[in-house]
Structure 1
């Protein structure tokens, strides 16, 4: 500073610092908080959580129909019981003394490619099929995409079949909501057709019915709503975080110390070298 004035070098440094991070999401100044240009006080009490999720991720606010479908998908994936690895981890972490944030972080960290990534992988497959379908019939596009997927990743197709549910009730309900939205002209139904064609093709290939599961159904919803595959995983994590929090809190109130994945008296199998 010279004679009470900020030097040109200091101004340049300040401008560089302010330009280091750029965002179109939020504008915060003393007494002002705007989300995508909308004052936060206009949003509080007037829109729901699903609306805010959409508003943060997209360039335009959602229609009521889009909000309903997004909220349905978020509700559907909230929890799947204490044997789901992420849920079990949150409960075990609490019994090891972790606070809620530590339990949640531990659980969320395992929501990766195998446990938590199927929705992203399924939507990527659907989008590949959609691309192929621009130049060939849908059934041929499905076969082409499935061949490519199996060659690269193996025979397990994400979004289909379930280790516990012969028919996943969450998928049935979500597809019904997509069908209703299509009938009223709120979505195209393109990804619903793709998802069902994949289910048909898998049945023909394997000789048995392999129904769409929650990951496939949410991939349909997120595809119809125009979300990128990576966001399918992020949105799943937002949803499952509710279940993770609830189980961690329940376990905290139940008590217990250092609980492992199984009762200790059941033991485990020791594989001795011959």
Structure 2
């Protein structure tokens, strides 16, 4: 009998992440297979955003490591929380979406006719046709997220990391963007999303990592999101001592 072994798309190897040597994610180990649709959940302060910054290389591990197993930076697309986006920056919807092509063309590279067509197609795919020349500061929260998803479309990444992608947006926009995530999943992309809406997690994400600065549970969503596990996660975060000793240098 032939046994097929699938190399994980993403691996955490005793990973500890933090700031100024104070850990925010402790000793996380586990594998994310190619094509996974994984929700990362946990109380506020659980380390979800910190973990995502570690995955995309914006934060170096205090110890352990993240293995992307052959993926380069251009294979990874990252959507940070909305609060981290500078909406005062003077740029149009069209130009911000076009930034999704920069890794292929370079910042100073020009766009071909085909590139401009792709940009228009991405804008149309998220329902923003007619908004191309609008300044991003004039957009509603839902329109802003649609625009950022259009930029992700152009990145055409194999690994997509979404930090609270559906917060503070209207129900129609949420449904449209969830459908886009499901489409990416069907294409075989690996998707991680930090989420607070447990109903959405249960209905859409087959796998879940429950985090409370360290792993509480990881696996099939139904088996992870139990009352006992959720209570344990809350207690773990509440018990964390903000004045804990820093990690050894």
Instruction: Give the TM-score band, short-chain normalised.
Output: under 0.3
Higher fraction of strand: 2
Higher RCO (C-alpha under 8 Å, 6+ residues apart): 2
Higher fraction of helix: 1
TM-score (norm 2): 0.26
TM-score (norm 1): 0.24
Give 1 or 2 for the bigger CA radius of gyration.
Answer: 1
